[in-house]
Structure 1
């Protein structure tokens, strides 16, 4: 009827310290991404498709960490690590849906940069308001039915041994490890779903950036190439951080999974990436910095 999230219980002397660290990280994610959303809504210079998708990404990051960190903080504060079967399934379902949304949203942002750099004259026509809203809504909802089905399949397994999940949230690999009997079919289904989503989004991203790089290299001036690269480098860095850490978790052979390293790797794509996203986009983007200065000057 319930599971036990072991989390970082092996670090018994550091529970208070870990609570403070994760609470501080959570506040950084909330404040940083909320500031991006506010700036893109208030500043006229940021009323562009690029920043519309950036605001969507920031909203997603807030939801993403809110699925995981508050529960982790409660566990660290109360030392009561019990989580009901339904709560665990709900957490995993929202985590998977938001993870799929991030994959598709990063692909849409890459396509937006492709149109802006490779077809600048058609950019206002192709990326009009209606198209932007449709792409954003599609990114949010396209993975919902698949991830609900995947969650239902995983929690239809028989759990007849230990109920202790050696992780800080309900993720697929540690939950499947608790199941009895042959789980190869379920593991194969997980790999197929992850592979399909990753392949579609990575192909779009790679295709977009191959065209972008080809176009940038043909620009006549060094300043033009530098400006074009600067508008893409932030997004590309976020893509590498997210897909790199997630792929290590979900594409590693089962024999190489170990609770300690798995937790550290999971921290990157669940907490560290959402922290760095607003920093990367604000520190490397002159428009965002200018909007922030105007907001602070008015205050």
Structure 2
């Protein structure tokens, strides 16, 4: 599957170079919350989160709508559709706690009409997306904001949330991403089936490869990953060093997979990585999945 990353916005900004630099250098964007969440039966503590400073004080729905509007405005939809075939826009957006879409279809239609009034493209909204199952010539726009108290408190019932002075856990963030899935894409994604150990073997990984972890962090996962990769080490090898997307910029919910692919693209587009042929992206939510992101043979026109 080939694709291009068109635009992104997160706490690191909206430039490809800053995305790479922020994660590669493990820059600090996170901060403690003012509110306390229940960590276990005997402990309440501030949770650690990442936010876009400009959105501080807004609720989740407003945050998502503002990020979405910003992304659509900056991909220059009219110009994009003149240069490439776009059969459909696929919005990857979160649902509210009641199960309803956080942003309704009427609002999405209005955003697209404002961006391209002459011929508004068809669209659909989903909250569960897989790159490998996406139709060709699809514009994917993914947005989520996962850092408000209500959302994080609910997640703490199911996952270890990173709290101040607490064990390794999930830091929540927000962001928006646009990708175009098409045959002329500059990036190529290769997937592998079966269990994670089998995926690693089929991908023929080397401990010297570049890895991006874009899943939910926990001490249990760290032990699990080492057990998966242990047989790939030789006596003098150093441990695999992950580029930690979510430790730096926060786990971004339904937009997290798009964020990881955009980060992989920023790595491969960076002059410092010119000799790097591919980057592996590792997820552990909702399933354990390995992606190999490499440069395609297509000429890049975006």
Same fold (TM over 0.5): no
- TM-score calculated relative to the size of structure 1: 0.26
Q: Whose radius of gyration is greater, 1 or 2? A: 1
User: Per residue, is there more strand in 1 or in 2?
Assistant: 2
- TM-score calculated relative to the size of structure 2: 0.25
